[in-house]
Structure 1
Amino acid sequence: MKISFHGADREVTGSCHLVEAGGARILIDCGMYQGGRELDEENAQEFGFDPGSIDYLLLTHAHLDHCGRIPLLVKRGFQGEIITTTATRELARLVMLDAAHLQEEEAERRVRHAHRGGAAPRQALYGTLDALDALGRFGRAAAYGEAIALTPTLSATFHDAGHILGSASIRLEDTSGPVRSVIFSGDLGSSGRAILRDPQAPPPADVVVMETTYGDRAHKPLGPSVEELYQAIGDTFQRGGNVVIPTFALERAQEILYYLRQGVELGRLPRSMSVFLDSPMAISATEVFRRHPDCFSSRNQALFEGKQDPFMLPGLRFTRDVADSIALNRFVGGAVIMAGSGMCTGGRVRHHLRYNLWRRDSSVVFVGYAARGTLARQIIDGAGQVTLFGEKVPVRAQLYTINGFSAHAGRDELLAWHRALKPAKTVLVHGDERAMLSFAAALENTEVFMPKRGDAFVV
């Protein structure tokens, strides 16, 4: 086996790894770089390999930084088979089509600006047709724990990663010579979450390629995080303001809905509060979740069997239409507005920040990861004002950063997962270099490698 690295190497986004084994070339993920506009050019660069030479793409899960460049891969010549779980396929469809739409909108905006400035506009990275072409490359569906033959001597087995719906760690085994195995962690979830099962460790392997997003720190416990959410909402309503929650459409939106419902049932939140899920993709993703209770923890499977929807609560309204989203600006208080994107790099949440960020009676509650260079990170780091739609907006709202809702495993859980696999070699990816170095120092009885883009080694 030869493994080379083409993304998320000493950084958190853009996951993309290439395996050459058993006479086949297999790509693990093909994600988009996220964090700021300067990464647009990075996403457009060459992959570092010929897309037309790839036989299979194995997709760990449907987050944009793992699947966002698949349409570009197809546009540049990939004609192989994409294999993933059924739930990931459904969510990836939403993510890729939404990304294509945003790419097209951004290209149109650049054309207008270029005409005024006399410059040649930069083209969209890919469009809706490319995303549809990519969906046509999805083939066999993976079931957890069942090996899929890629060649006569090479197999892939997906294991539940507990990160988002359908997420997986992938174990490759090559028997063409001495048996060799490698595991790609994908993104690992945290145990004891509201909706999904706990992550499952695959059987041991020679090499483990694992994420280190939170390799240098543990998360705040979930229980106090839920209490902090309830307190933030209650205090904001007492001040007469709104609560804006920048929300990732996959997993985070559904988890927050789950706890809002639970808060109402426990009497911690008022039944009369208005809750708006103002994200077409999050609304569609919630429908996908409802179709896959088989991925849920046993407790939540029982809720569905009892005909109780874990994502529904009094006063919840879905706002798909732009007109309905704009109408939310009339709410001066008493509303919880959940909107994407979670890092505030685009989407409807930027409009809600424009109308609420300057108000001392309102609150902004961050419940997810904010990469360097994003608007969310600027606000969290204490910016006195930010630019929204060309306008300087002062930051006066009460800010909350609640880390306990992270869908990623913390340091201790990552270490426990690694110990169960007993690898001779460990490759650290998908994390800031500081987090990687901290995590590497805690590993025992394994050789540690932290690749840079383009690096490769043979198993």
Structure 2
Amino acid sequence: MQISFHGAAGGVTGSCHMVTVGRRKILVDCGMFQGGRELHKENAGDFGFDPAEVDILLLTHAHLDHCGRIPLLVKRGFRGEIISTAATRDLTRLVLMDSAHLHEEEAKHRHRHGQKEGPLYDTIDAFDAIERFGRSARYGKPIDLGHGITATFHDAGHILGSASILIEATEDGRKRRILFSGDIGPRERPLLNPPDPPGGVDAVVMETTYGDRDHRSFDDSVEEFYDAIASTDRRGGNVIIPTFALERAQELLFFLREGMASKRIRSTLDVYLDSPMAISATKLFERHPEALKPELADMIRGGQDPFQLPGIHFVREARDSADLNRVRSGSVLMAGSGMCTGGRIRHHLRHNLAHSDCSIVFVGFAAEGTLARIIVDGAQKVKLFGHWIPVKAQVHTINGFSAHAGRSDLLDWHGRTGTPEVTFLVHGEEDSTQSFAKALKGTRVEMPQLHQSFEL
């Protein structure tokens, strides 16, 4: 039995891991490398394996850095079954169609500038990938993968439908239990249940995004969020929130609703959700109450909408988004992408960054090299659409909203898996992974590099 690492190894994005049992090849995730436009060639590069030889793809969740290269995998020959939870399947459909559209638009932009390079994949490729989805997993229910191999999905508490995946296989009379964490959520979240890993595993493949630090307490983060909005409102500026369309946008809508109800923020504040994907994802939350906390599920089943608030505007059309550039005060504008690598948020930053009465509120992880990280790290000016824009707006970084577990919650999660013989640490920057490795006891720790293989 062999495990090999073809993404998020020695880095944060591009999760892609392979388990080989005899001739059976099982892929866990097939994500996009993210962090800057220069990564196009890396995403277009060789997978490190032949896609046509992969029998099954198990998908932990719908974030682009875990599912974003699936259309390319299919384009290059994968004809196996994709298995995920039902919520992940529906969210992935949104993510892949949006991603394909962006690749097509980027290719058109290159063509206008004399470059012949086509899109990484197009809408037809995304449709082909969506058709590969087969069985839907339910938490705690084993799925037969053939040849005596099973996969069991366990709630990871990261985004709607997210899972850690336990693969159990017998080879040469020896049974092995390998757990892939996917991305792990914090123990306390307003919308989702806490992570629920299985015990008694032999090997763990584990994310370490925040392996070197804990987040600020959730309650303190909510208060900081309200303070940032209220103070900006008093100054007469706009609040710009780069937000991930899946989970973060819905969580923020929930807290904006709560803040208005408790009068922590002005109830007549205009709130714009400027993201077609986030709007559609919000509707999917109502379709999948089984993936939510019981109290939220009961609320939805009872006909209440936890994401509806006074003054909410759902902005789907590009022309309506462009009109928001004329809004100079009294508004909260939420748009993607969370790391500011593309999308409508870059236009809102262009029109608000230079104003000292405005605020930019970051509520999630920003990988090295992204515009979000450059702003968070204190840049005095940034380049947007060929122009240098001074950073005069107040910048708030509120990591307590992160959908990723902090160091203490990661250690707790690992402790509940039992005493694994080996733990592979992935999906983290070097300092974070190294720090977390030193904190683990009673297990052999490996920090694999790209395309490295191990025998189990």
Is 1:223 matched with 2:219? yes
Provide the C-alpha distance between the structure 2 equivalents of 1:57 and 1:332, rounded to a whole number of angstroms: 47
Deviations 1:373-413 (A, max 9, x none): 11111111111111111111110001100010000011111
Question: Which residue is equivalent to 1:232?
Answer: 228
Is 1:141 matched with 2:136? yes
Whether the 8 Å CA contact 1:35–1:372 is kept in 2: the answer is yes
Question: Which residue is equivalent to 1:75?
Answer: 75
The amino acid of 2:113's aligned partner reads H
Match of 2:389 among 385, 388, 393: 393
1:303 deviates by 1.9
The amino acid of 1:416's aligned partner reads D
Whether the 8 Å CA contact 1:222–1:405 is kept in 2: the answer is yes
Question: Which residue is equivalent to 1:250?
Answer: 246
Percent sequence identity is 60
Question: Which residue is equivalent to 1:175?
Answer: 170
Structure 1, unmatched stretches of 5+, are 115-119
Question: Which residue is equivalent to 1:340?
Answer: 336
Provide the C-alpha distance between the structure 2 equivalents of 1:185 and 1:134, rounded to a whole number of angstroms: 23
Is 1:125 matched with 2:107? no
The amino acid of 1:208's aligned partner reads V
Specify the SS of the correspondent of 1:353.
Answer: helix
Specify the SS of the correspondent of 2:204.
Answer: strand
1:299 deviates by 2.0
339-348 vs 17-26, which moves further: 17-26
The amino acid of 1:75's aligned partner reads K
RMSD of Structure 2 on Structure 1 (CA): 0.9
Question: Which residue is equivalent to 1:154?
Answer: 149
Match of 2:454 among 447, 452, 457: 457
Match of 1:321 among 302, 311, 317: 317
Provide the C-alpha distance between the structure 1 equivalents of 2:147 and 2:161, rounded to a whole number of angstroms: 27
Is 1:353 matched with 2:367? no
The amino acid of 2:159's aligned partner reads I
300-309 vs 425-434, which moves further: 300-309
The amino acid of 2:452's aligned partner reads D
Provide the C-alpha distance between the structure 2 equivalents of 1:104 and 1:372, rounded to a whole number of angstroms: 25
Task: Describe how 1:20-419 pairs up with structure 2 within 5 A.
Answer: 20-21=20-21, 23-114=23-114, 120-176=115-171, 177-419=173-415
Question: Which residue is equivalent to 1:117?
Answer: none
Provide the C-alpha distance between the structure 2 equivalents of 1:235 and 1:64, rounded to a whole number of angstroms: 34
The amino acid of 1:83's aligned partner reads I
Specify the SS of the correspondent of 1:179.
Answer: strand
Provide the C-alpha distance between the structure 2 equivalents of 1:381 and 1:256, rounded to a whole number of angstroms: 23
The amino acid of 1:91's aligned partner reads L
Whether the 8 Å CA contact 1:22–1:154 is kept in 2: the answer is no
Provide the C-alpha distance between the structure 1 equivalents of 2:22 and 2:141, rounded to a whole number of angstroms: 19
Specify the SS of the correspondent of 2:313.
Answer: strand
1:22 deviates by 5.1
Deviations 1:17-38 (A, max 9, x none): 0111154100000000000112
Provide the C-alpha distance between the structure 2 equivalents of 1:204 and 1:19, rounded to a whole number of angstroms: 19
1:434 deviates by 1.0
Structure 2, unmatched stretches of 5+, are none
Provide the C-alpha distance between the structure 1 equivalents of 2:184 and 2:333, rounded to a whole number of angstroms: 28
Provide the C-alpha distance between the structure 1 equivalents of 2:245 and 2:386, rounded to a whole number of angstroms: 26
1:322 deviates by 1.1
Q: How many residues align?
A: 454
Whether the 8 Å CA contact 1:23–1:151 is kept in 2: the answer is no
Deviations 1:121-162 (A, max 9, x none): 222110000000000100011011010111131100000000
Specify the SS of the correspondent of 1:234.
Answer: helix
The amino acid of 1:121's aligned partner reads K
Question: Which residue is equivalent to 1:425?
Answer: 422
Deviations 1:258-290 (A, max 9, x none): 000000111111111000000001001111111
Specify the SS of the correspondent of 1:38.
Answer: helix
Provide the C-alpha distance between the structure 2 equivalents of 1:44 and 1:270, rounded to a whole number of angstroms: 47
Provide the C-alpha distance between the structure 2 equivalents of 1:282 and 1:204, rounded to a whole number of angstroms: 38
Question: Which residue is equivalent to 1:2?
Answer: 2
Q: TM-score, normalised by structure 2?
A: 0.98
1:14 deviates by 0.3
Deviations 1:300-323 (A, max 9, x none): 123223322111100001000111
The amino acid of 1:111's aligned partner reads H
